Amino acid sequence: MSKPVEQLSQVIVRFAGDSGDGMQLTGSQFTSETALLGNDISTLPDFPAEIRAPAGSLPGVSGFQVHFADFDILTPGDAPNVLVAMNPAALKTNIKDLPKGGTLIVNSDAFNERNLQKAGYATNPLEDESLGEFQVHSVPLTSLTVGALKGIEGVTPREAERSKNMFALGLMSWLYGRPIEPTVEFLEEKFAKRPEIAEANVKALQAGYAFGETTESFAVTYEIKPAKLTPGTYRNITGNQALSLGLVAASRLSKLPLFLGAYPITPASAILEELAGYKNFGVRTFQAEDEIAAAGAAVGAAFGGSLGVTTSAGPGVVLKAETIGLAIMLELPLVICDIQRAGPSTGMPTKPEQGDLLMVLFGRNSESPVPVVAPRSPSDCFDAAIEACRIALKYRTPVYLLSDAYLANGSEPWLLPDVESLPDISTTFATEPNDGDEFLPYLRDEQTLARPWAVPGTPGLEHRIGGLEKADRTGNISYDPDNHDLMTRLRAQKVAGIASDIPELEVDDPDGDARVLVLGWGGTYGPIAAACRRVRTGGRSVAHAHLRHLNPFPRNTGEVLRRYDKVLVPEMNLGQLLKLVRADFLVDAVGYNRVSGIPLRSAEVADAIEAMVDQ
Amino acid sequence: MSKPVEQLSQVIVRFAGDSGDGMQLTGSQFTSETALLGNDISTLPDFPAEIRAPAGSLPGVSGFQVHFADFDILTPGDAPNVLVAMNPAALKTNIKDLPKGGTLIVNSDAFNERNLQKAGYATNPLEDESLGEFQVHSVPLTSLTVGALKGIEGVTPREAERSKNMFALGLMSWLYGRPIEPTVEFLEEKFAKRPEIAEANVKALQAGYAFGETTESFAVTYEIKPAKLTPGTYRNITGNQALSLGLVAASRLSKLPLFLGAYPITPASAILEELAGYKNFGVRTFQAEDEIAAAGAAVGAAFGGSLGVTTSAGPGVVLKAETIGLAIMLELPLVICDIQRAGPSTGMPTKPEQGDLLMVLFGRNSESPVPVVAPRSPSDCFDAAIEACRIALKYRTPVYLLSDAYLANGSEPWLLPDVESLPDISTTFATEPNDGDEFLPYLRDEQTLARPWAVPGTPGLEHRIGGLEKADRTGNISYDPDNHDLMTRLRAQKVAGIASDIPELEVDDPDGDARVLVLGWGGTYGPIAAACRRVRTGGRSVAHAHLRHLNPFPRNTGEVLRRYDKVLVPEMNLGQLLKLVRADFLVDAVGYNRVSGIPLRSAEVADAIEAMVDQ
Amino acid sequence: MSTNGHLTAKDYRTDQEVRWCPGCGDYAILAAMQSFMPELGIARENTVFVSGIGCAARFPYYMNTYGMHSIHGRAPAIATGLATTRPDLSVWVATGDGDALSIGGNHLIHALRRNVNFKILLFNNRIYGLTKGQYSPTSELGKVTKSTPMGSLDWPFNPLSLAIGAEATFVARAIDTDKAGMTAVLRAAAEHRGSAFVEIFQNCPIFNDDAFAFVRDDKEGVNRVPLRDGEPITWGAGAEKALRQRSDGSIEICRADDEGVLVHDAHHEGAALAFALSRVTQESHGGTPVGVFRDVERPVYDDLMAGQLAAATEKFGEGDLGALLHSGETWKIG
Amino acid sequence: MSTNGHLTAKDYRTDQEVRWCPGCGDYAILAAMQSFMPELGIARENTVFVSGIGCAARFPYYMNTYGMHSIHGRAPAIATGLATTRPDLSVWVATGDGDALSIGGNHLIHALRRNVNFKILLFNNRIYGLTKGQYSPTSELGKVTKSTPMGSLDWPFNPLSLAIGAEATFVARAIDTDKAGMTAVLRAAAEHRGSAFVEIFQNCPIFNDDAFAFVRDDKEGVNRVPLRDGEPITWGAGAEKALRQRSDGSIEICRADDEGVLVHDAHHEGAALAFALSRVTQESHGGTPVGVFRDVERPVYDDLMAGQLAAATEKFGEGDLGALLHSGETWKIG
Ligand SMILES: Cc1ncc(C[n+]2csc(CCOP(=O)(O)OP(=O)(O)O)c2C)c(N)n1
Ligand SMILES: Cc1ncc(C[n+]2csc(CCOP(=O)(O)OP(=O)(O)O)c2C)c(N)n1
Ligand code: SF4
Ligand code: SF4
Ligand SMILES: [Mg+2]
Ligand SMILES: [Mg+2]
């Protein structure tokens, strides 16, 4: 006797619990189930600060938000519609995000005195008025789970208890009509070596599902129709995974072996860890003694003819600056991935920010121009990585790839590309003298201004390069004033010239009559695009352009900016792109800046846009 | 029977010879003699590239230019009127700077086949037509010297030969009516332990002087009247010396012991070396294992209550970035001196540039604002150093001091200040709780927004600080989004607020009707001011403003810029200040940029200004 | 209002919640340090803990003294500046195997050779804890971690050998759970003027559990080789095993009653014996020496610096700014 | 068009004018290297010299092979990337005492412990040459230089002790002007698979003249203690002096015909003897060992890396990009 089904267009669910409660797993399984239904999805985990805090404590709370819908969505959502809180600490840290009338599911078993105290609750919120404005479902998840698992041999009471996350998942799956079979399969595989644990988890999952069906607490169940997505094969992917795959793909597409020099750092470590698993792709990962060595080794590998890459986050990227300066002088290809996090200094290591744009552009001594590429979404990290490699190889230059903690850990469905459709970014090594009998290592390609890449092992092209200023063409050390001025300008021109080799800036202005342009870059694409949608739904027109190339800018950028009366530049910093476009195009653009260590909220961005439109 | 005396207003003499020829000594003695005559002076050495190249080779040439005049002068001069060339290599590398009709004095003895070949001369330029357009005085300096020194006991022929620079100095002293007594004294003191060498040098000097008087080669002698300088006591000083003295003075004025952490690097090493000599001023110099440690030790010293300073040049300053970021988060005073040199990477280590402005402003992860101060002349390094220390101490922030290789090695007369006239920059440590019984390390001063500086050893104020984001007031670790946004803005406001504590930007516009403003910063003051003079002499009006504070800008900067129709920004980079003023003030300023590793030439800057005025 | 006087471990606790994982060895080290501090007799305000980044590096937050949680690997450099300018302070560096030996390796070895007066406690858990489980420079070859799915390729450092090779004047080893042993080592380190280097075997139950089980749980002393100055080096349940030196310079195991049993001499000027002892490991010898390996006197950097300042002042008089500005060749105008 | 075949020293000269000061020890090292190279039998194009910054670091410009003059202290890191990706190359690092031991100390010790396959030649002149005469980490205590007018305060590193403490597998010492000795050491280094560390005493006549005069000019061998594998360690004009080990692990001088004279064993697995020998110095013993101190086999980083790649390919097959993209949970739409 099934319950009535209500249609919804979209839902945002947040799972929150103690670090030990398995919320990441719960969230990602809920995501997998949802993906199979054809909804569009976007997810964002919220890891606790670096160290495993004591159980039940506020800093120990771990969260995972899933946004799914029957249309193409852009962000994991500003705020959840449904909050699943596994303990008082999780409730405490997350309830402020739940809007009035939102659904709250709590594990009432966890609301004992000890836990309440650890979370700083003087009284039990389940028993006072404080949750009055929410639809509260207080479910004794722990005891229901333990009850359901009685009698499975070899499962300790602790282990039984630990399955409560699967009970919660079962319940949520029922509520939103998600199939639990994929999770059953997943659990059986994951615990293949301990079938009793697999059984316990599966039973808990099923019990949760059944509980939904039978309890009176839930009157309706919801349905979210599939989204109209481009046909094809999809997989759910985080930004760091996509970035890693993009690097492997670039290695294949360029026919160069990939060498990664890295030193672990949050939130970039996952790239090192991911790439360490692709040894059968010829990928060499080198965990260096520090970031300087990581970058240095990548330069050494590039000199030897590898696709040299180094990854880090802000506090590590600054350390690489001198080495990148060397690579600029050597004019060797190199890709530096900066997974931006909140700073300055150590800052808030797990939180996103867009604070490193000016650093990667200018953070080296003297005039040392570098191209910069920034992905706009988790799956876009794949394409952006290939693009960064393409530019590095073609122009023989270090290129920065600017991702952030939000893209890195967030996930979304990724329409898998055909390998054949990927760009050919193969490059050629010099094998012959290029000036009569002589080899001139700084004789440039006329079109790209790139110098030849002659790798050791090539007979007859032996040459020496270094960080001292070099004479045009020959590359010999030179202190000649005019030569230095020339070389400085050539290096700048080479990078500036890339503008002719990248797409023009596209503007999304569905109404065609917008007077306000919103200009963003990189990881804020989702929130800004969602904000624009919201503004348009509210009846106003707004145009949105989003920069993927931060240096050089697309060649039509100035023209685009000047087309609009007003330009708003939302950023997760104090106005870095803003400074650049004001300087380059002399437009009186205005910033919308939030530096909170959390993704921009589209509702707030929408407010800012509306205010500007209405001005 | 003395020769006729001709009056001159100014002269620029360049001494050039092999590294072993003692040109630096010759130049500086000529400077000393000239100072005593009351001329204004500006000098610039031109060291050979880093290593002592083989004798007689082109890279081994060492030069020293002295500009002296009967008025206040601004630069060592674009080009010499008189070139003294001790060998063919010196001639070869310097002759292109000598204008038509210029005076050339060469040591003809050095023009033998071997030397000619080393310098790449196919034929002897003294014997062909190539020097036709100059007034050439070909003097056998070596043999005349050796001849003059015959009979001094204990002096080897080699040693006699090596005195030829004193012969040249004697000749030049005669030619320009400089007294040689100070040099005689100097030589006797310098070679006190080897009186025979002192004697040889003095004899050579006197012989050179006498040679001028007797030879027919020189028909006239010149006189340059004293300049009208502010009365007082002067000494000739280089930028690095003045900077070092400024730091010692700041230590005294703040009553804090000075701690310098440094790692040797051209052209900053001299500051470490200079300060190492002031141990009786309580100055501690620490030659660290690298630049990171140098900066780190300075931060440690600052935590302990010292005036912490670290010095380097671009390739070393980039390495300090992470540590400066920490100091920004810790909000501790620190002064970082960057003696800019030509880059990128190792670049041209001995040559000046203004390439590090954007790096010091933005070269750290995330939003990490710092004040920046830049001296305008060698002696101004003294005041600028005190100003940097003042801001660092008062606002508890790292401050960058941007000098360059040109200021560092160049010299000028310095009107010695009264110690009493120097600013009081003393600061106070926290000694008491600041919030009831509690000590809150991040409770700010309302006016400056500086936090209290409580140094270890102060009972009751024990506290812990670090690089993680901290809660407002308490300084505890905080991951709160709003707190992070607040702290980010507070750090920015603190630095921005310094604008109210620095002088307004002054404009030099003697005619009062200029439509073009030339805006410069730091070490280009001399060439730009000289260019403006030249332009005005040519009958055009031009205004000049020169920035000493690069962050924040003086509060009237925008207003000044908007007062003029056109703004020209000459820089020894590709337009860094230009970018900043365009972004901040939306003025369509235009750059004049030369990145040649040599100081801007005022003639070229003047051309650029005139072109703009005439547009 | 000095805080000196009758302090207890409690006085060294801060109001910050300790945030290491349950069961982390860092707790024991913290407890031992807090108990030991009062014994030192140094006022709380004259004590400073400096750290880099890592789990270990959270240490200063939990010590109610002055403290700085700085940046990864740089604590020895920062402590050098502090100790050199403030000889009145007792300066301690808390660091991890990644912090001290990976990114911070250079600062560590330079601090040791300089013999700057601070104490370095290296919490060695043979893993990167804070970044969640990559191998470290002390991880054994072939270690499977997040970043080395097929096993690590780098031969590990022996922290003691490295320190001795870097001219350290004080080198010791302790075990997190061995409070008595650790306290003895801390005491010796505190008494040593100059740099003291102490490796502490620290268990990370989350990412590298039981890495040191062989000595940590070795209550009978089967594997622990205690180094006691002036005494023969013997160990085993019945102290039946001993160490002695072969003619090739290496050290072998023998019976306690054999001839030539090594008598420990931590104060021996030469570093060779301490080095040889640092090569005695569980893998190579089936025993792990703990205690003070080396403790010799050598001029201390900060003392030498202070000495030069005093000598210069003695010679030239206390610096006079006016005279300094007027030094060199000057001339008068007007 | 390989350049292999009958090469001579001349083939290794470049067209760049050599710009060291007259009399600089670097000339002799360059000459020795250029003479030695042909003997190696490696094609010029397969040889790479990498350096940092310093006088010594100009070396690559003068070798007609591939080369990189990089940034201060980072050559070992750069060489690690190169050697790890290009096992077919013969990679050499030329560095100075400042470059290698000051700013680059960390990269050096990590390269040594990893045993990456490149050879490090440390031109030790106990001074910063290129920056014109500040003291270096190998300068003796109390050295008066530009930056230390009252004498340096830092105890110097012993480069060999440091290398051995850092788990180096090959450690040797040579003298710039001793071409035969240096060539023998270079040969042994080249033959060693893995990292080889060679300290070369190099005279800097400009800023630190005669720092090594005691062995450099020691034609009679009064001060030079030659280390010859398998032979007793004796020296002196008539080979009358010898070394032997004391029971405390240190090394003493004895007469060549005394009992217990040490027989050199560079291949000894344990590092203790090599370390003890590294402590034998002119100051402490009146003699300076030269030659190969230590030369042992240990898995090489690049080989291990290549091995893992091969093993992974063996196990999972050559990577297929399409399959990789489609791995994990996928689903179809439309
Ligand atoms: C410049 C920089 N690089 C990398 C990191 C990331 N990071 C933080 S701690 C750490 C290693 C921690 O290992 P260890 O020192 O052994 O300390 P543990 O956590 O094991 O106590 C790393 C790589 C950082 N914070 N800063
Ligand atoms: C990052 C950086 N810091 C400092 C320098 C300046 N510098 C160049 S070489 C050198 C030291 C040279 O000493 P050493 O390595 O012993 O070489 P030598 O000149 O004696 O052969 C220094 C400090 C630099 N080039 N880069
Ligand atoms: S990760 Fe390991 S070292 Fe870090 S706190 Fe947890 S148990 Fe301790
Ligand atoms: S300064 Fe010294 S090391 Fe450098 S080239 Fe001259 S003699 Fe050689
Ligand atoms: Mg660790
Ligand atoms: Mg040297």
Q: How far is CA C305 from CA B280, C116, D155, D157, D325, in A?
A: 12, 10, 13, 19, 61
Rounded mean pLDDT of A520-536? 97
* B277 to B295, B371, C308: CA distances (angstroms): 20, 29, 11
* Ligand lying nearest the CA atom of residue D131: 2
Interface confidence, given as ipTM, is 0.97
pLDDT at B416: 97
CA B32 and chain centroid, separation: 19
How far apart CA B157 and CA B155 sit, in angstroms, is 7
How sure is the predictor about C2, in pLDDT bands with cuts at 50, 70 and 90? very low
Can you tell me the mean pLDDT for D308-319? 97
Reading the block at residue A555, the tokens are 């060649």
Partners of C279 in beta bridges: none
What amino acid occupies position D98?
G
Among C161, C138, C123, C156, which Cα is nearest to C278's?
C161
Mean pLDDT in residue range A425-439: 96
Q: What CA–CA distance (Å, rounded) separates C15 from B610?
A: 68
Nearest-angstrom CA–CA distance, A525 and A548? 10
C-alpha distances in Å from residue C15, one per residue of C10, C11, C63, C68? 11, 11, 9, 16
Contact B266 D131 (CB under 8 A): yes
Indicate whether A50 pLDDT > 90. no
Q: State the Cα–Cα distance between residues C309 and B442, nearest whole angstrom.
A: 35
The residues in B 224-283 lying below 8 A from D, measured between CB atoms, are 263-266, 269, 272-273, 276-277, 279
Looking at residues D121-137, what average pLDDT do you find?
97
Omega within 30 of 0 (cis) for the link into A552:
yes
Query: For the segment D62-107, what is each residue's pLDDT rounded down to a tens digit?
Result: 999 999 999 999 999 999 999 999 999 999 999 999 999 999 999 9
Q: Contact at 8 Å (CB) between D206 and D129?
A: yes
- B287 three-class SS: strand
Q: Give the position of tokens 């007859």.
A: A460
DSSP string covering A3-33, please? Answer: PPEEEESEEEEEEEEEGGG-HHHHHHHHHHH
CA distance C106 to C94: 16
d(CA D76, CA D105): 10
Stronger pLDDT, A123 or D17, i.e. the higher one: A123
User: Which pLDDT band, with edges at 50, 70 and 90, does B59 fall under?
Assistant: confident
Label each residue of chain C as H, E or C: CCCCCCCCHHHHECCCCCCCCCCCCHHHHHHHHHHHHHHHCCCHHHEEEEECCCCHHHHHHHECCEEEECCCCCHHHHHHHHHHHCCCCEEEEEEEHHHHHHHCHHHHHHHHHHCCCCEEEEEECCCECCCCCECCCCCCCCCCECCECCCCCCCCCCHHHHHHHCCCCEEEEEECCCHHHHHHHHHHHHHCCCCEEEEEECCECCCECCCCHHHHCCCCCCCEEEECCCCECEECCCCCEEEEECCCCCEEEEECCCCCECECCCCCCCCHHHHHHHCCCHHHHCCEEEEEEEECCCCCHHHHHHHHHHHHHHHHCCCCHHHHHCCCCEEEEC
Task: Provide the 8-state DSSP code for D102.
Answer: I
List all residues 6 or more positions away from D109 whose beta carbon is below 8 Å from its beta carbon.
C105, C109, C157, C162, D162, D163, D166
Pairing of strands A61-69, A10-18: antiparallel
Does the pLDDT value for residue D48 go beyond 70? yes
Kindly state the average pLDDT of the residues A91-97: 95
CB B309 within 8 A of CB B334: yes
Atom 5, ligand 4: which residue's CA is nearest? D20
d(Cα C269, Cα C294) in Å, to the nearest integer?
9
Q: Which of A50, A345, A578 to mutate to test the interface with B (most CBs of B within 10 A)?
A: A345
Query: What distance in Å separates residue C270's CA from the closest CA in chain D?
Result: 6
Residue range C47-62: mean pLDDT, rounded: 97
DSSP D134: B
Q: Is the pLDDT of residue B341 over 80?
A: yes
CA distance readout (Å), A418 to A36, B232, D320, D324: 21, 81, 13, 12
Cα C16 off chain centre by? 25
Q: Residue A597's closest CA among A353, A432, A424?
A: A353
Distance from C-alpha of C46 to C-alpha of C39, rounded to nearest angstrom: 14
Residue B450, Cβ neighbours under 10 Å: how many? 19
Specify the ligand 4 atom closest to the Cα of D207. Answer: 2
| Model confidence at C4: pLDDT above 80 | no
Kindly state the percentage of chain C with pLDDT values over 70: 99
SS3 D266: coil
The chains in contact with chain C, meaning 3 or more Cβ pairs closer than 8 Å, are: A, B, D
CA Rg value for chain A? 27
Spatial contact of B59 and B53, defined as CB atoms under 8 Å apart: yes
pLDDT of residue A4: 86
pLDDT at B102 over 60: yes
Cβ of D96 less than 6 Å from ligand 4:
no
Q: What is the pLDDT of residues C231-253, one digit of tens each?
A: 999 999 888 999 998 887 789 99
The Å distance, Cα B318 to ligand 4 centre, comes to: 27
Residue-level pLDDT at D1:
39
pLDDT exceeds cutoff 70 at A43: yes
* pLDDT at residue D19, rounded to an integer: 87
Q: Which of C20, C132, C149 faces A277 most closely, judged by CB atoms?
A: C149
- CA A232/CA A236 separation, integer angstroms: 13
Going from the Cα of B260 to the center of ligand 4, the distance in angstroms, rounded, reads 27
Cβ of B343 closer than 6 Å to ligand 2, yes or no, is: no
CB within 8 Å: B273 and D128: no
Contact D147 B277 (CB under 8 A): no
Report the C-alpha gap between A102 and A133 in whole angstroms.
Answer: 8
Question: Using 50, 70 and 90 to split pLDDT, how confident is the model at D246?
Answer: confident
Cα distances from A574 to residues A168, A193, B448, C83, in angstroms, run 41, 51, 21, 37
CB A227 within 8 A of CB A37: no
The contacts of residue B193 (CB under 8 Å, 6+ apart) are: none
Q: For residue B493, give the chain A residue with the closest CA.
A: A574
Tokens representing D220? Answer: 């009679």
Kindly report each contact of residues A388-391 with a partner whose C-beta sits within 8 Å and lies 24 or more positions away, as own/partner.
Answer: A388/A250, A388/A335, A388/A337, A389/A246, A389/A247, A389/A250, A389/A251, A389/A253, A389/A254, A389/A307, A389/A309, A389/A333, A389/A335, A389/A425, A390/A250, A390/A423, A390/A425, A391/A498, A391/A501
- Whether residue B484 is predicted with pLDDT greater than 50 in this model: the reply is yes
C195 touches B: beta carbon within 8 Å: no
pLDDT confidence bin for D2, thresholds 50/70/90: very low
Best CA proximity match to C197, nearest among C103, C301, C112, C127: C112
| Facing D134 at nearest CB: one of B51, B57, B269 | B269
- Touching B: C residues 304-323, CB under 8 Å: 305, 308-309, 311-313, 315-319, 321-322
Question: SS3 of D140, please?
Answer: coil
Structure token digits, residue D173: 């010492």
Rounded distance between C-alpha atoms, residue D1 and residue C326, angstroms:
69
CB B405 within 8 A of CB B315: no
- Pocket test of ligand 1: the residue of A263, A311, A323 to mutate, having most ligand atoms within 8 Å of its CB, is A263
> Cα–Cα–Cα angle for B452, B458, B459, nearest 5°?
120
Dihedral, A589, A594, A599, A602 alpha carbons, nearest 10: -60
Portion of chain B with pLDDT greater than 70, in percent: 99
Burial of residue A392 (number of CB atoms within 10 Å: 0-12, 13-18, 19+): buried
Q: How many CB atoms lie within 10 A of CB B343?
A: 33
